């Protein structure tokens, strides 16, 4: 990896770190915000809700726009990096503005703007990684990128809470805003789209395009599939018919449901049901989540690459494993692939048997989520803190193993022309089925049953559901 490309990935990692720190800061300083604006619990929680609504609702629209610009204007890494920098600029400005306003309504607007800016970053940054690395090289880089989730969350909880208590809730937001704008300036200095390696990108139809000079058109007429614009209806139909993408998305949504439930209610559960002090419950849960997130994400990424390499050495057959053919069709007589709908793109040649083999990634995701069930149940049912905290740590290590491989699956099974839209749809489904409803559903179940133990079983069992979604492709040969 060239130094400029390594620096580019480090900057994306730093921004992802700040992205997740920003999401959890408001929760860490919520008492100060509520006291400053004299808010009820409902109005205080609405600050987080409007951020998630803006983030979730804007993602698919932004993704489709990016893909449309890619196919109609033939934009390369340079064009997508500029789009990312616009989003990062909006994110940093709105976050800083939300910290200095003295009005609750303006604070809500600032958080909404920050959510839209973060959505741009969340859907474009992984696509840039996919653009600069071949499929067989993406896994470790994607894993490294998503290590920032647990680390950034811990920074948001611990650092945001400390700064907010000592100086006021505005200072953590100001620090995030300044940090985001600083990283944006560094991205500008290294030059948009000049970070890539001097070798072909990972997509067969981009073999004539050097990553070091992205955006340059190939002279190969078979690239015409990338030049055609897909309508949004055709794009959604193509995504719905992509079985690996659908299974991975629903598996990620189930895992996100479980993680969201633990983040929202586990400290409260340990305080009210296990009678721990607020400081102890919050500190130990945050520490377990941060360390387990890093260990699990790195372990899952390593295991995913290990099983992928074993799968590539083993001969594939129609009866064994998951091999996803490239989404664009082949000319007659040059291999096998199913055609696109009439009038929606043309073919380009692909060597016989070439495809994106995702068996190793699916296997690691399934094993991690299913293996988290026993220690997860112990973390809920055990009454001794010397038992349930270690069990929680083991369960979270197993759960976080899905993080890198699952996102690599999504990047690898999507055609370049719909990759950004597909990633945005993935984000939309994950949050609509996971983060958005879980806090309410667990709280409602707690109220209905009067038992925190019964309520907390819901997010833990959802890990098993996610594991089943990732297990379904095993032993089935998918075709498109």
pLDDT single digits (tens) 23-70 = 878 877 777 888 888 877 667 777 877 888 888 888 888 888 887 776
Gap between the Cα atoms of 458 and 453, Å rounded: 9
Residue 182 has a CB neighbour count (10 Å cut-off) of 13
Cα 164 → chain centroid: 27
Gap between the Cα atoms of 428 and 432, Å rounded: 6
Burial class of residue 175 in the structure, from the number of CB atoms within 10 Å of its CB (0-12 exposed, 13-18 middle, 19+ buried): buried
Gap between the Cα atoms of 480 and 473, Å rounded: 14
Domain 1-214 - what CATH class?
Answer: mainly alpha
Domain ranges of the chain: 1-214, 237-314+322-327+352-480
Gap between the Cα atoms of 271 and 280, Å rounded: 9
Q: Do 29 and 161 contact (CB within 8 A), yes or no?
A: yes
Which residue numbers in the chain have pLDDT < 50? 193-229, 314-355, 475-480
Gap between the Cα atoms of 260 and 431, Å rounded: 10
Position 255 scores a pLDDT of 95
Alpha helices in 156-313 (DSSP H): 160-167, 170-190, 224-227, 232-240, 243-272, 278-313
Residue pointed to by tokens 């089943």:
468
Q: Which two tokens stand for residue 186?
A: 């560094």
Q: Is the dihedral of CA 187, 192, 196, 202 positive or negative?
A: positive
Gap between the Cα atoms of 345 and 227, Å rounded: 8
Please tell me the CATH code under which domain 237-314+322-327+352-480 is placed: 1.20.1250.20
In tens, the pLDDT along 443-467 reads 888 888 888 899 999 999 999 999 9
pTM here is 0.73
Gap between the Cα atoms of 44 and 67, Å rounded: 36
Same fold, 1-214 and 237-314+322-327+352-480: yes
Gap between the Cα atoms of 152 and 160, Å rounded: 11
Q: Which two tokens stand for residue 336?
A: 């096998």
Gap between the Cα atoms of 63 and 48, Å rounded: 23
């Amino acid at each position: 990896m060239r130094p400029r490309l390594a620096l580019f990935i480090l900057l994306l990692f730093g921004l992802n770190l700040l992205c997740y720190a920003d999401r959890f800061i408001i929760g860490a300083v919520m008492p100060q915000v509520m006291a400053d604006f004299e808010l009820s619990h409902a109005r205080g929680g609405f600050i987080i809700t409007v951020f998630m609504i803006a983030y979730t609702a804007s993602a698919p629209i932004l993704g489709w726009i990016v893909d449309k610009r890619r196919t109609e204007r033939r934009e390369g890494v340079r064009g997508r990096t500029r789009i990312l920098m616009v989003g990062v600029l909006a994110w940093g400005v709105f976050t800083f503005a939300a910290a200095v306003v003295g009005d609750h309504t303006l604070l809500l607007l600032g958080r909404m703007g920050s959510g839209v800016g973060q959505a741009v970053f969340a859907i474009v940054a992984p696509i840039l990684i996919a653009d600069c690395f071949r499929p067989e090289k993406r896994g470790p880089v994607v894993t490294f990128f998503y290590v920032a989730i647990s680390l950034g969350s811990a920074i948001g909880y611990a650092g945001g809470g400390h700064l907010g208590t000592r100086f006021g809730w505005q200072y953590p937001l100001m620090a995030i805003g300044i940090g985001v704008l600083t990283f944006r300036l560094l991205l500008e200095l290294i030059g948009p789209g000049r970070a890539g390696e001097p070798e072909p990108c990972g997509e067969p139809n981009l073999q004539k395009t050097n990553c070091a000079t992205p955006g340059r058109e190939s002279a190969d007429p078979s690239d015409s599939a990338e030049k055609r614009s897909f309508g949004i209806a055709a794009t959604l139909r193509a995504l719905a018919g992509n079985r690996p993408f659908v299974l991975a998305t629903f598996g990620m949504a189930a895992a996100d449901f479980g993680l969201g439930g633990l983040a929202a209610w586990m400290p409260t559960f340990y305080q009210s049901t296990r009678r721990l002090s607020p400081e102890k419950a919050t500190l130990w849960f945050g520490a377990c989540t941060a360390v387990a997130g890093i260990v699990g994400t790195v372990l899952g990424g390593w295991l995913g690459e290990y099983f992928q390499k074993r799968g590539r050495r083993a001969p594939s057959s129609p009866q064994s494993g998951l091999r996803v053919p490239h989404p664009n069709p082949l000319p007659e007589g040059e291999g096998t692939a199913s055609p696109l709908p009439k009038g929606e793109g043309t073919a380009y040649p692909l060597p016989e048997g070439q495809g994106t083999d995702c068996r190793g990634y699916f296997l690691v995701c399934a094993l991690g989520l299913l293996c988290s069930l026993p220690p997860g149940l112990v973390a809920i049912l055990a009454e001794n803190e010397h038992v349930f905290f270690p069990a929680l740590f083991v369960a979270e290590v197993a759960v976080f193993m899905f993080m890198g491989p699952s996102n690599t699956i999504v990047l690898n099974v999507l055609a370049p022309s719909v990759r950004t839209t597909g990633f945005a749809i993935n984000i939309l489904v994950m949050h609509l089925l996971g983060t958005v409803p879980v806090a309410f559903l667990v709280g409602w179940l707690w109220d209905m049953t009067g038992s925190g133990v019964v309520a907390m079983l819901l997010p833990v069992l959802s890990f098993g559901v996610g594991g089943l979604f990732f297990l379904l492709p095993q032993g089935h040969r998918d075709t498109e």
